[in-house]
Structure 1
């Protein structure tokens, strides 16, 4: 990969960690996730009005990605109800490179070299370190399960969008329509939380929608990179976000056990580096 593409993916990783921190610090995470989804819809509405349509065959992937995102938002919200950012985030993101590498090999014919799989093994070791207390004592088992479910959803939509954007003929159009269809996610949350929406403080609205703008920007950068690099490699480099999440977790959110969590995040980032330099 060129330094430019690597820089784009690393920028997306930082932005992704930021919007996850916004969700984690929210008092009502379900409502905030709905606002994040709505934050995608606002700019996307303008974009789809001025951009050409993506190819017809790519719309199947856009719809499938939207469906998987429903599961992703649900799993992510539940994970943050049960665990700290610097535990949930490394688990959810850390398992993604292995799964995306596997899905890409099966469905897209992209085979990762041995060095990349060695990096995946290092990531798995980092996951064990970051969650050793939950695995040993049973405390935090719900957080672990929902975090793993979040990672699975991420891996599926990463593959779906990786294939879909390559078929679209226009990355911006694919990005815009994928973001616009978050309107169904935002609408679903609005129906469930309709009694509390009117009472939300302006700060909650601003943070939620800002989180959506950050999230949309981060994923647009990743979609662009998927046009020029193997899906497994893009996904792996994106997971350097675990470092940013760990830093945010102990420096901003004051979450405990920071030495172990930061060590686990660094270990996982080392695995990500092995993968990123193998292609």
Structure 2
């Protein structure tokens, strides 16, 4: 992975951790998720109007990724209802890199070099340390199961998008349709709240809008880098967002203990450097 690709993915990881920190700071997580997906859809419409249609060969990936994202939002909502964000996030994001690398090897024959696999192992180990340090072993079976399910969905749509964007012949067109097809998510949440006589608070809309911009930027950057770097490496480095989230938790939310999270950060950093050199 080149230095440019590495820098872009690390920036995307920081953005991803940032919007999850916003999500953690509010009680109305469903409202924030609705605003985030609405921001996706609005940007998607702009991209659809501005760029060519993606190639026909990429549409199965768009459909698959869209359906997987619907499942992702549903599981994310349930996981945060039954488990802590600091438990769900590291488990779900930590499972994805190994599954992506394995799937890429099986589906498209894309394998990492031995140092690359070592780096992937370090990243996954560091994320695992963080998950255990945060008390995941004491979490309820339901929350752990939901987090594991999220990891499978994250890996699945990562592989689908990695393949689809390479076949699209229009990266921004692919992104546009992928984002636009998230529109049913905020519509469904808004319709449900209207039936129940509820609405969205101003703070929720503001936080969700900011989170949506960060989420769209992060995912768009990752989609682009997948066209110039191995899928497994991109997915692994992207999961350094777990470390950024841990640091944000320490510095912003005062979460403790510090030592275990710093150890995990060092392990992941070593994995990131190894992947970059590989």
TM (normalized to structure 2)? 0.90
1:251 alignment partner in structure 2 = 251
Matches within 5 A, 1:1-279: 1-132=1-132, 134=135, 136=137, 138-195=138-195, 198-278=198-278
161-170 or 202-211, which moves further after superposition? 202-211
**Where does the alignment leave 5 or more consecutive residues of structure 2 unmatched?**
none
Shift of residue 196, structure 1, vs aligned partner: 6.2
> Is this contact kept in 1: 2:76–2:150, CA < 8 A?
yes
Distance 1:142-1:123 versus aligned 2 partners, 3 A rule: farther
Distance 1:131-1:217 versus aligned 2 partners, 3 A rule: closer
Distance 1:148-1:89 versus aligned 2 partners, 3 A rule: same
Distance 1:83-1:99 versus aligned 2 partners, 3 A rule: same
> Is this contact kept in 1: 2:93–2:151, CA < 8 A?
yes
Shift of residue 124, structure 1, vs aligned partner: 3.9
Q: How far apart, in 2, do the equivalents of 1:243 and 1:188 lie?
A: 33
190-199 or 84-93, which moves further after superposition? 190-199
| SS at 2:81 equivalent | helix
**Where does the alignment leave 5 or more consecutive residues of structure 1 unmatched?**
none
Distance 1:197-1:154 versus aligned 2 partners, 3 A rule: farther
Q: How far apart, in 2, do the equivalents of 1:166 and 1:143 lie?
A: 35
Shift of residue 44, structure 1, vs aligned partner: 1.7
> Is this contact kept in 2: 1:31–1:193, CA < 8 A?
no
| SS at 1:131 equivalent | helix
237-246 or 87-96, which moves further after superposition? 87-96
57-66 or 112-121, which moves further after superposition? 112-121
Q: How far apart, in 2, do the equivalents of 1:275 and 1:96 lie?
A: 16
- In the alignment of these two chains, the number of paired residues is 277
Q: How far apart, in 2, do the equivalents of 1:135 and 1:215 lie?
A: 25
- Over the aligned positions, Cα root-mean-square deviation in angstroms equals 2.1
> Is this contact kept in 1: 2:22–2:211, CA < 8 A?
yes
Shift of residue 97, structure 1, vs aligned partner: 1.4
Q: How far apart, in 2, do the equivalents of 1:113 and 1:253 lie?
A: 39
Shift of residue 127, structure 1, vs aligned partner: 4.0
209-218 or 250-259, which moves further after superposition? 250-259
Query: 1:183-219, CA deviations, whole angstroms, 9 ceiling, x for partnerless residues?
Result: 0222232233335685322111111122112111111
Q: How far apart, in 2, do the equivalents of 1:176 and 1:135 lie?
A: 36
> Is this contact kept in 2: 1:242–1:269, CA < 8 A?
no
Distance 1:258-1:141 versus aligned 2 partners, 3 A rule: farther
Shift of residue 21, structure 1, vs aligned partner: 1.2
